[in-house]
Amino acid sequence: MNPVVHSHRLRVRYSETDQMGVVYHTNYLNWFEVGRTEFIRHADLTYRELEEKGVLLPLTDASISYKKPAKYDDEVEIRTHVDEITSVRLTFAYEIVRVSDAELLVTGKTMHVFTNAAFKPIRLSRTEPDVYEWLENQHKGGE
- CA 91, 46, 7, 59 dihedral sign is negative
- Domain tally, the chain: 1
CB 92 within 8 A of CB 67: no
Residue 1 lies in a domain: no
pTM for the whole structure: 0.94
Q: 76-121: per-residue pLDDT in tens?
A: 999 999 999 999 999 999 999 999 999 999 999 999 999 999 999 9
Does residue 129 carry a pLDDT above 60? yes
- 18 as an active site residue: the answer is yes
The pLDDT score that the predictor gives to residue 143 is: 55
Domain carrying residue 69:
6-140
Which tens digit of pLDDT belongs to each residue from 38-77?
999 988 888 899 999 999 999 999 999 999 999 999 999 9
User: Who's near 65: CB < 8 A, 6+ residues apart?
Assistant: 106, 107, 108
Instruction: Assign residue 30 the CATH number of its domain.
Output: 3.10.129.10
In a domain, 34, yes or no: yes
Query: Of these residues, 18, 44, 101, 130, which one is catalytic?
Result: 18
Neighbours of 135 (CB within 10 A): 21
